[in-house]
A = this chain, B = another copy of it.
Amino acid sequence: MSNKKSAGNLNTALVILEKSIPLFAQSGYAGVSMRDISKVVGTSGAALYHHYPDKQGLYLAAMEHAFSDMALSIQSTLDIKGTPEERLVHFTTNFTDQMARSPELRILLQRELLDGDDERLKLLANLVFVKPFKVIKELARELGLDCDAHLLAISMAGLILFHFETESIRRYLPGGLKKHNDPKVIGKHVAKLLTGMLGK
């Protein structure tokens, strides 16, 4: 009994996903054609349809692949012991680092937030965010802050992500310097704001 079943050569199927992810990140679903994908993969367009039922199916598989990576990397930022304050700084600096290291994942996330339907968003939430979100909420509770833990967890993520989201425009804003794109600078800044907030 072979474990390479009807879905065809698994390796090719994977290569298609991994080569198409950067395209979808750069141009979005509507901005990428099956021909574009076949070109970067190095096959004919028809080959794509051997591995995936249609463009939507390929896209969905690509998102699942990309975001399962993201889930692992986010969880690694939360797998640590120490005082709540230490864990807060650890999460902040590590999450910032990861967002800087894989801009593609952040961009895909933002595109999904704009264009994803309910089903895809639910999948994304369960696949990537529910687990780390619970840890952050628990962290917020331990810090004994007098505010809604859900709102605080979202605020923490937004504080970090927005700096990357606006990277392309900040150089045209007053005081925009190269160092503001340095993940170390961003991480320190956010950690300072957050620890300042809970300092009182």
Contacts and interface: CB of A to CB of B under 8 A. Distances in A.
Interface of A: 27-31, 107, 110-111, 113-116, 121-122, 124-126, 129-130, 133-134, 137, 147-152, 154-155, 157-159, 161-163, 165-166, 168-170, 172-177, 180, 185-186, 189-190, 192-193, 196-200
Nearest to A198: B196
A95 to B, nearest CB: 14
Contact of A125 (B110, B148, B169, B175): B169
A114 B28 CA distance: 9
Count of identical protomers in the assembly = 2
B30 A186 contact: no
Nearest to A123: B172
Contacts of A121: 168-169, 172
Contacts of A163: 151, 154-155, 158
A169 B124 contact: yes
B113 A180 contact: no
Given A114-B114, A150-B175, A158-B165, 19 more contacts: A110-B114, A111-B114, A113-B165, A121-B169, A130-B173, A137-B175, A147-B193, A149-B175, A151-B163, A151-B189, A154-B163, A154-B166, A154-B180, A155-B159, A155-B190, A159-B159, A159-B162, A161-B162, A199-B200
